[in-house]
Chain A
């Protein structure tokens, strides 16, 4: 036994020995670990070239850095890609189609004109953490963070990404940020790293000018907090499967109810004070709705695509742009590249959902607007990340690669206007900011992020 044994373990060594045998690793798992270690060795030897790790290069290397073999992960240099005339024409066609097609659709399902006011847009919420480094609220205001490995402060821009200002709660070190939850231009919460993950949090309502330290409703032995806010005063926090709400911006909380399935992988979003949505991805993936602020939940059925015989394997990208209009992506299949995904859309507050367009690639993961979806493939070590913009044209999704070297999917954000930013860490350690105004067809460097190691 290579760990400090408890008295009970010392008393029954044969029982402990049997338990260790029973729980021994599978041969295929051992093979996996050997493969990972071999690849890690390659990565480590490459990392030795980086300035921040140069101090390790002189060390004796009998283990994971035993080899000086360089792998093929080249340092990507930032830069704009050239576009051909054909590509430019294609862009124009896509943008035109994207602009016109919604109106064609609307014409096809035209309703009698009404005098109701335009729907109120919901907050475009997002989060930053170790691998999600950018979230744009709109074309002007965005939040960013050097990833956790680089230890930078939370940053905010109000000029579309040209300049960024550090905004940190006083006394909170940059390496103590667990998650940053962003709700709009001025409201954000920071969940600090602590022993109790549902402990305290920092809240700003003025874009980081001032911060308040508040407390989550802690459940003993539970530890996961997922906050969502509809506006600056009304919010909910999910602690495992227990839901709490606040009517004072998070100063006080009260338990609302227990979520229906005792399962994992909840995603929760709200389209009004009363109506909320959640799904679980335990097969079959299930969508639930509440109309009483979370007290009770009912299953919401989605139409099955004609080509599919089984229920959805997973749901994702559940997003409401207004109280009436929402989207989600459902994936069907057994898991893998043969899976097929579909964009579901509701325009009546979720009373009914329709499939928009045909089949999406399995890799679709984020709804940009009613005719655009982002997809990504690769991105793990050894496989470059490829991000594409899918555009709904005449009922079919047309895929266009985004012409930019992007290391992490969390470092790109595309708004419904097809304006977007990418954060790209250059070889000199500086994080550069690139902007697109055409859905990723062309990019222009507009600034850099301050801070970071």
Chain B
């Protein structure tokens, strides 16, 4: 423990928040009753991280697993306090982090993306989720694997298949705008 504390620096925690703040917030925002509660809970999670310097010595996927677990516990506690307890299988929702703010907000604003959005909607929820974690939160495949509790190999395969599928659908769209521009 002393070794961990010696090597840690405040910047490490800033990096931790920059790396995983958005995904933890998204997870909590999806399940919390309000944006304000999600902000409070996210703060709680990273405050807990401040008291656990060992965390900084871990790999990214392991850090994310820890943060997810604390976030889940915080959420259970919040449910408990607000009579939405016990949502005891709450960890299960970590497999589906889809929120209300999928790509729709962009697709609706820009017709160029409407068709791609339609194609994404045809994918399985897990495929959509992996896309969101990968391109919305910029996670590595190992981090996605940790978050979804699957092997990295499985995530890489699924992501490859999904990209291949999207590419196929994307390429056959005759009216796609912007291609080649």
Interface residue ranges, A against B (CB under 8 Å): 2-4, 6-9, 11-12, 14-16, 18-26, 28-29, 32-33, 35-37, 39-40, 43-44, 47, 50, 52-53, 55-56, 59-65, 129-132, 148-150, 175, 178, 193, 196-197, 221, 223-224, 226, 238, 240, 264-268, 281, 314, 316-318, 329, 331, 335-336, 341, 362-366, 376-377, 379-383, 408-410, 453
Min distance, Cβ A359 to any Cβ of chain B, angstroms = 12
Contact of A29 among B13, B22, B76, B166 (CB under 8 A): B22
Assuming the contacts A61-B10, A65-B10, A130-B48, asked whether A366 and B80 have C-beta atoms less than 8 A apart, the reply is yes
A149 vs B44: C-alpha distance in the bound complex, in angstroms?
Answer: 12
A57 vs B115: C-alpha distance in the bound complex, in angstroms?
Answer: 52
Listed by A's residue number, 16 A-B pairs whose Cβ atoms lie within 8 Å are A3-B134, A7-B160, A9-B163, A22-B116, A22-B120, A24-B106, A36-B21, A53-B51, A55-B6, A59-B9, A264-B90, A264-B92, A267-B85, A316-B83, A317-B86, A331-B82
Q: List the A residue with the shortest CB-CB distance to B126.
A: A221
| A37 lies within 8 A of B35 (CB) | no
| B69 lies within 8 A of A40 (CB) | no
Contact of B93 among A14, A129, A264 (CB under 8 A): A264
Q: Name which of B25, B70, B81 has the most chain A CB atoms within 10 A of its CB.
A: B81
Contacts of B88 in A (CB 8 A): 226, 266-268
Interface residue ranges, B against A (CB under 8 Å): 1, 5-6, 8-11, 13-14, 17, 21-22, 25-26, 29, 33-35, 37-44, 46-48, 50-54, 69-70, 73-74, 76-77, 79-93, 95-96, 101-103, 105-107, 112-113, 116-117, 120, 131-132, 134-136, 138-141, 149-150, 156, 159-160, 163-164, 166-167, 170, 179
Contacts of A4 in B (CB 8 A): 140-141
Q: List the B residue with the shortest CB-CB distance to A329.
A: B83
A380 vs B156: C-alpha distance in the bound complex, in angstroms?
Answer: 37
A52 vs B48: C-alpha distance in the bound complex, in angstroms?
Answer: 13
Contact of B83 among A32, A150, A331 (CB under 8 A): A331
| A197 lies within 8 A of B149 (CB) | yes
Q: List the A residue with the shortest CB-CB distance to B149.
A: A223
Q: List the A residue with the shortest CB-CB distance to B41.
A: A380
Contact of A64 among B17, B139, B163 (CB under 8 A): B17
